[in-house]
Chain A
Amino acid sequence: MPDGAMPVLDVKGLKTVFRTRGGEVHAVNSVSFHLERGELLGVVGESGSGKSVTMMSLIGLLPSPPAEIREGQVLLGTTDLLKISDADLRDIRGARVGFVFQDPMTSLNPVFNIGFQIMEPLRRHMGLDKPQARARAIELLELVGIPDAANRLNNYPHQFSGGMRQRVMIAIALACDPDVLIADEPTTALDVTIQAQILELVKDLRQKLGMAIIWITHDLGVIAAIADRVMVMYGGQIVEQAPVKDLFANPQHPYTRALLKTIPSISGKREARLQVIEGQPPIISAAPSACSFRARCGHAFQLCQAENPLRRAVGGGAVDQGHDVACHWTPEGKDV
């Protein structure tokens, strides 16, 4: 089969619900997307919109209870990750799917030194012996820009700065050359120069190894710099999906349009006050029957209350291929 003919990852109709004391939280609602070899898919969206929960659902990282994956398929190649055993899933995590967590302090173990935590997956999944794993660990830390790496292996996580911990997480996720890297806000603690170095590294890995990457971030500058496609989430759903240039040039969903307006610029005029999207994000306690953005939307009309909009292609074509949006309203060339 030629490259790109079959996605490395294909997610269909994913639904994740939390059962809490206060009732159900429908964190992910019928989310579908795919990822091709060597592709970088950017994911943006409001805080609490379900980005992390979606990605953690894919590879069984949510504790159940309270999480429950109600529906969906997660195809990694031909394997449905929602159907395989915990042991098989553990092997896939770390070896074929690398994951960088949003909060490095919770995913690095405070009682083991950094060296152990990088070498462990190398020995387990790649069958390296101790000196080989050590050499590779040093190489990985250097790749992510940690100075004096050999001497740093004996340090514990609390002895690293916030950004260094994040880079250790990236090194661990990359250790076994995974097919898919899922990076959840991986560069929030990095300064722009080190971030640029990491972004270069990622570009390189895509070219050399064909690694496919999902990159969750709030930083639209990073999205603009590295993403091929972008997915916008709101209220547990994908509300817009498009090639990166189209998204910035021709945003369709009122949430996306508002989001793009809120970024302060590094070069333009300095605003006295920053733009915000008024109103509160929804708490979704049942499968949505209306548009979840309607209460904050300047364009909402009756239909938005009556029906949850489905994703439709913008300017022809199929959903999840070109540009699509889940909205009843159309901007029709109006200015952003």
Chain B
Amino acid sequence: MFDQPVNNLVEVSDLKMYFPIYTGIFRRHTGDVKAVDGVSFNIREGETLGLVGESGCGKSTVGRALLRLYEPTAGSVMISGENIATLDSEALRKKRPTMQMVFQDPQASLNPRMTLADIISEPLIEHTDWPVERRLERVLELMDAVGLNRRFANRFPHEFSGGQRQRIGIARALALNPKFIVCDEPIAALDVSIQAQVVNLLEDLQTRLGLTYLFISHDLSMVRHIADRVAVMYLGRIAELSPRDELFAKPLHPYAEALLSAVNEPDPNRARRERIILQGDVPSPANPPKGCNFCTRCPKAFARCHQEKPELVEVEPGRQVACFLYEDKKPAVSIGRPEAKTEHNQQGETL
């Protein structure tokens, strides 16, 4: 890994996204929801990074901040060498076609007064000077690709089922042949066959065009299928980042372990593995615990976990974990810094 240079398409360093809380009749700023609280990771060119973790832990917020759909509170997001977090609006507009997002809430992201064909051609109108026929041809091609019947082209969003709407969002994200796509629960509303069709499509595009994906999903069996590496988040921070096979074979972080143990086997006639049931209070991102964010529910927590926040460090080649259980494992590279200033140095990152 040291001798062979890896191209990172995306380099995220100490990203923070806080939402202010205002209370009382004077709407005083009394605190922050720390939705993302110091997250660092890289995505290599042509790679799929899976992002999993508890509902509300900040996955969508990471995805949105990466594409600057939110203004990050701190940190940098380098995509192809440019810091997205500080680009001016014209430079950002030029960059937009190369990075796209499939949104978690399909309904909320589709304009109810536009037909399907209009919705998918919108980015084409905005960013290309193609004539109408060429645009229409592209729209139909995209509809085929995501398995939407061509006869639906003139329907409005409310005339579709949930899964059909989700596919409209995917077709739109693909319209401009982007290089990087944040897929936020892209397949949650789809039946398994169409999930498979969409995932196969994403993989084909990756092979053909070298696309890079951040794939946010709760479906761990699908993540296991599509992702090269997987980041497990807990309460605004990354708990573990490991290559797929290693993670699924033996999760290191206690939260990752609990998460994987809860998956339902799709067959009632087959025995499941022992489920780890998490006890204890679920902390709120407005008021994270003093020590490790997971310490209130961790079955393996000890005194130090309630005092200090563990950093994300490499504990085995290619595997990073934020947990004091692995302290003795001689960190090779330090990635996340808990109270880092706004300075970011990229050097020393070998991943």
Contact = CB atoms under 8 A, between A and B. Distances in A.
Interface string A259-300: 110111111001101111100110100000000000000000
Contact of A163 (B55, B164, B222, B281): B55
Interface residues on B, range: 35 or more
A262 B224 contact: no
Interface string B276-290: 011001111011000
B154 to A, nearest CB: 7
Interface string B212-256: 000000111110110000000000000000000000100000000
B74 interface: no
Given A264-B221, A280-B147, A189 B269 contact: no
Interface string B24-35: 000000000100
A163 B218 CA distance: 10
A161 interface: yes
A221 B162 contact: no
Given A47-B194, A162-B185, A264 B222 contact: yes
A192 B263 contact: yes
A112 to B, nearest CB: 16
B163 interface: yes
Contact of B55 (A102, A164, A274): A164
Given A163-B55, A191-B53, A192-B264, A249 B218 contact: no
B262 to A, nearest CB: 4
Interface SS majority for chain B: loop
B222 to A, nearest CB: 6
B333 interface: no
Contacts of A164: 55-56
A218 interface: yes
Interface in B120-161: 147, 149, 151, 154-155, 159-161
A45 interface: yes
Interface stretch (A80-88, A90-98, A144-152): A144-152
Interface string A201-232: 00000000000000000111111110000000
Contacts of B260: 266
Contacts of B149: 280-281, 283
A75 interface: no
A285 to B, nearest CB: 10
B268 interface: yes
Interface stretch (B101-109, B168-176, B303-311, B312-320): B101-109
B56 A196 contact: no
Contact of B107 (A105, A160, A167): A105
A330 B282 CA distance: 51
A192 B54 CA distance: 8
B265 A191 contact: no
Q: For A52, A147, A223, which residue has the most chain B Cβ atoms within 10 angstroms?
A: A147
Contacts of A219: 219, 264, 266
A48 B163 contact: yes
B206 interface: no
Contacts of B284: 147-148, 151
A88 B56 CA distance: 37
Contacts of A45: 191
Contacts of B159: 18, 20
A176 interface: no
B190 A47 contact: yes
Given A48-B164, A103-B162, A191-B259, A276 B193 contact: yes
Nearest to B59: A161
Contacts, number: 192
Interface in A235-259: 244-245, 248-249, 258-259
Contacts of A194: 54-55
Contacts of B107: 103, 105-106
A179 interface: no
A218 B200 CA distance: 18
A159 B197 contact: no
A266 B185 contact: no
Contacts of A267: 265, 273
Given A47-B164, A164-B56, A259-B192, A192 B259 contact: yes
B108 A224 contact: no
Interface residues on A, range: 35 or more
Nearest to B107: A103
A2 interface: no
A36 interface: no
B60 interface: yes
Given A148-B286, A274-B200, A259 B193 contact: yes
A32 interface: no
B9 interface: no
B295 interface: no
B197 A276 contact: yes
B271 to A, nearest CB: 11
B301 interface: no
Nearest to A154: B23
B286 A188 contact: no
A273 B278 CA distance: 34
Contacts of B53: 191
A208 B228 CA distance: 45
Contacts of B221: 221, 263-266
A139 interface: no
A157 to B, nearest CB: 10
Contacts of B188: 185, 188-189
Interface of A: 18, 20-22, 44-48, 52-53, 102-106, 145, 147-148, 151, 159-164, 166-167, 184-185, 188-196, 218-225, 244-245, 248-249, 258-260, 262-267, 270-271, 273-277, 280-281, 283
12 contacts: A22-B151, A147-B283, A167-B55, A192-B263, A193-B54, A193-B278, A259-B191, A262-B195, A264-B225, A266-B224, A266-B260, A274-B199
Given A218-B190, A265-B221, 12 more contacts: A20-B159, A22-B151, A46-B194, A47-B162, A52-B162, A102-B162, A147-B281, A147-B284, A164-B56, A224-B265, A264-B222, A281-B149
